Structure 1
Amino acid sequence: MVDNQARKMESEERRVVSLKIQTTCEEKKTERKDLEMEERIMGMNME
C-alpha cells in the first residue's frame, strides 16, 4: 500500500519535472524568435 503511494508520488513528480522542462524549451524558442526579430529590425535600421 505504502509502496504504491510512493510510486504514485514519484511518477507525479517526474511528470511535473518534464512539464517544467517542456515549458522552459517553449520559452527558449519564443526568446530566440524575439531575438531574431530584433536582429532583423536592427539590420533594417543599419541599412
Structure 2
Amino acid sequence: MNGFPDNVNDMMKHIDHLGDDSMDNHFSVGWSLAVDTPFQWTKQVA
C-alpha cells in the first residue's frame, strides 16, 4: 500500500490496533471480487 514494502517486524508493533478506527483496513482487488461472487460488478449490477 502506497509503495511501502511489507515488514513483519513493523506490523507486529501495531498488532493491537489492527481493525480499529486508527487503521485504513483494506484487502486486494482479487479478494473483493471473490467475496462478491456470484455478482460480476461488486454487487452494483445484481
TM-score, scaled relative to structure 1: 0.20
Q: Return the structure number with greater helix share.
A: 1
**Which structure carries more relative contact order (alpha carbon 8 Å, separation 6+)?**
2
Q: TM-score, normalised by structure 2?
A: 0.21
